[in-house]
Amino acid sequence: MTNKKSFTLNKYFSLTKGSIMESLSFRFSMLITVIGNLIYLIVIYYLWKAIYASSSSEVVNGMTFHDTMIYLVLALALFNFMECFIVWSIGRNFQTGQIALELIKPMDYQVFCFFANSGQYLISFFTTFLPTLIIVYLITKGGFALSINLIYFILSVILAIVINFCVDFFVGVICFYTESVWGVNIMKEVVVALLSGASIPLAFFPDRLRTIVNFLPFQAIYNSPLKILIDKSLETKDYITIIGFQIFWVAIMILISRIFWNVSKRIITVNGG
């Protein structure tokens, strides 16, 4: 039994190794991403600078300009780190008929998709998020705490990756019905970026909307780990509450995506078959 489990894990870990090699082979695209991010950061810097300049107070919704920029820079780094293009991968496999070959492999398809992209998470962490975190910390001279919250932050990020993957996988399977990827994925990107706090801190949402968003899974993707990392007022019980909320949504999203996949794979047609 132990050997069988070890063999199964080796199959999936080999996908991780392959994903790492694939990610390293596209170094130029990483450079383009860095340039695009710099342009984005310049735009949001002047945008939020104008917003705070028009305010009569240096603190808006409990956040200073300094706090907001730290949040948005780290949110962008976290977004790039967790972006894995699962929707495009599933949609492309469906349109080309590759999905039929994937389904006959002795692997669970959803788990296969996760490990096939897991190497990208590792590469993005060391090339995008970690350098950004260190640079922001040094530039702001300790603008956020790095103590026990770092352990909770790492756990929160792992849970956020699973939730984000399940959302992407669910949307990818929707392509079986729409037979189109672009529109569905764009809608998903907009919804997740907005409701997760990746583009606008949730503190700036109207009270009623923020209350609703706090009960949705999206804020558990970016806002939760960023809150653990940045908010110096949180205590251990607050960290545990945030992690517990994420664990709840991990279980729910895995269940929903599994059910939707098991139902949807029955309607797959390849070349009219």
Q: What pLDDT was estimated at residue 245? A: 96
Provide CB contacts within 8 A for 160, sequence distance 6+: 82, 220, 221, 222, 224, 225, 246
- How confident is the model over 93-136, as pLDDT tens digits? 877 777 877 777 777 888 888 888 777 788 778 878 888 888 88
Q: Is residue 272 part of a domain?
A: no
What residues are paired with 59 via a beta bridge? 64
Looking at residue 204, its amino acid is F
Question: What pairing do the DSSP bridges indicate for beta strands 63-64 and 59-60?
Answer: antiparallel
Q: What pLDDT was estimated at residue 273? A: 46
Provide CB contacts within 8 A for 150, sequence distance 6+: 229
Q: What pLDDT was estimated at residue 253? A: 96
Evaluate whether 120 touches 19 at the Cβ level (below 8 Å): yes
Q: What pLDDT was estimated at residue 252? A: 96
Shortest CA distance to 80 belongs to which of 135, 27, 37, 138?
37
Q: What pLDDT was estimated at residue 2? A: 47
pLDDT surpasses 70 at 14: no
Instruction: Please tell me the total count of domains within the chain.
Output: 1
pLDDT, mean of residues 159-176: 92
Q: Is residue 22 part of a domain?
A: yes
Between the two ends of the chain, the Cα-to-Cα distance in Å is 38
Using CA of residue 123, residue 82, residue 169, residue 163, what is the dihedral sign? positive
Q: State percent of the chain over pLDDT 90.
A: 24
pLDDT surpasses 70 at 191: yes
How many other CB atoms are there within 10 angstroms of residue 88's CB atom? 15
- How confident is the model over 25-41, as pLDDT tens digits? 555 566 676 677 778 78
Q: Buried b vs exposed e over 33-68: b needs ≥16 C-beta within 10 Å?
A: beeebeeebeebeeebeeebeeeeeeebeebebebb
pLDDT surpasses 50 at 234: yes
> Whole-angstrom Cα distance, residue 244 to residue 55?
36
Q: Is residue 273 part of a domain?
A: no
Q: Cα 196 to the chain's mean position, in Å?
A: 9
User: Model's pTM, two decimal places?
Assistant: 0.84
> Whole-angstrom Cα distance, residue 168 to residue 57?
39
Over the chain, what is the mean pLDDT? 83
> Whole-angstrom Cα distance, residue 161 to residue 119?
13
Shortest CA distance to 148 belongs to which of 136, 140, 159, 156?
156
- For the record, the structure tokens of 101 come out as 């070959």
Shortest CA distance to 16 belongs to which of 24, 26, 27?
24
Q: What pLDDT was estimated at residue 83? A: 81
- How confident is the model over 45-101, as pLDDT tens digits? 888 888 888 888 888 888 888 888 989 999 988 988 888 778 888 888 877 777 877
| Domain extent for 56 | 2-267
Q: State percent of the chain over pLDDT 70.
A: 86
Evaluate whether 226 touches 197 at the Cβ level (below 8 Å): yes
Q: Say which range, 2-6, 145-149, 238-242, has the weakest mean pLDDT.
A: 2-6
> Whole-angstrom Cα distance, residue 44 to residue 40?
6
Confidence of residue 182 (pLDDT cuts 50, 70, 90): confident
pLDDT, mean of residues 15-20: 58
